[in-house]
Amino acid sequence: MSTQERRRRERETREQLFIQTAQDLIRREGLLHLQMSRLAEACDYATGTLYQHFSSKEDLLMAIATEDLKRRATAFEPIPGLPATSRERMLAVVLTDIDFISSHPDHFQLLQYVSTEVIWASASLERRQALVQAGAPISEVVSRVVADAIHAADLVGIPSLRPVEIAAGFWCLNTGMHTLAHTHGLLEAYAVRDPYALLIHHGHALLNGLGWQPLVDTGNTRAVIDEAERIRALLVRSANPESPAVTS
């Protein structure tokens, strides 16, 4: 019976090896040049062994995207418990996403690619479900932040809109800006200089427009930047709970 278990662990370990090596290859040579045979070789396995884990190349790509998405979701977890106002927590959502995507530039592009009809349809049902599931915790966290704000009366609930639909607005703004930032030719065409500073600005505008208290003066660029840095520090602290005493 322990044999069974060890086998499963070894299999899992090897799958991680394939996924991580594939990520390395993609980082190094680009998604375009990823080849199944070369990936297998890089891992010292035969090509066929790859297909013990992934039903197709698209399946593999989706597995990579899913791994990253799980890590991305983890970054959101501490937010509902953050010692801050509900509005600051919502800003924390935006900042967390910005920072994750900024430090994982390949992730967003891969996610865009596998979300494409062509790739999506070529992957197995299990992988597709796993990808959707990996993203679900994020919308749950953000919805909770919205629900908490309504509960705290920082935000007046509108009967026709559930928390998840408010959350979706920020999802759109964020995803849209990632798209703008990562799609070739777009930043240049729009002549947008600093997409993520812009995202924070529009995020505040949307928060203000929803009447999310306390309102922020978006014209005061200094204050907006300072607040973002303050929330970032809070996020860093919550990510390393055992860090030494805070210094001012």
189 binding a second copy? (CB under 8 A) = yes
CB environment 29-40: b (16+ within 10 A), e (fewer): eeeeebebeebb
DSSP 184-205: TTHHHHHT-S-HHHHHHHHHHH
132 forms part of the interface with a second copy (CB under 8 A): yes
Angle, nearest 10°, between helix axes 221-239 and 86-103? 80
Q: Quick check: 74 binds a second copy (CB under 8 A)?
A: no
By CB under 8 A, the count of residues binding a second copy is 62
Question: Is position 204 an interface residue for a second copy (rule: CB under 8 A)?
Answer: yes
64 binds DNA (CB under 7 A): no
Cα–Cα distance, 34 to 208 (Å, whole number):
45
Q: Judged by CB under 8 A, which stretch of 8-16, 43-51, 63-71, 213-221 contacts a second copy?
A: 213-221
Contact pick of 48, 81, 219, 244 for DNA (by CB under 7 A)? 48
Residues 6+ apart with CB under 8 A from 125: none
Residue 47, CB half-sphere, CA atoms under 13 Å: how many? 6
From the list DNA, a second copy, none, which binds 58 (C-beta under 5 to 8 Å, kind-based)? DNA
CB of 131 to DNA, least distance (A): 17
Nearest CA to 52 among 3, 11, 5? 11
Q: Which residues bind a second copy (CB under 8 A)?
A: 30-32, 109, 112-113, 115-118, 120-122, 128, 131-132, 135-136, 139, 156, 158, 160-162, 164-165, 167-169, 171-177, 179-180, 183-186, 188-192, 195, 198-199, 201-202, 204-210, 218-219, 221
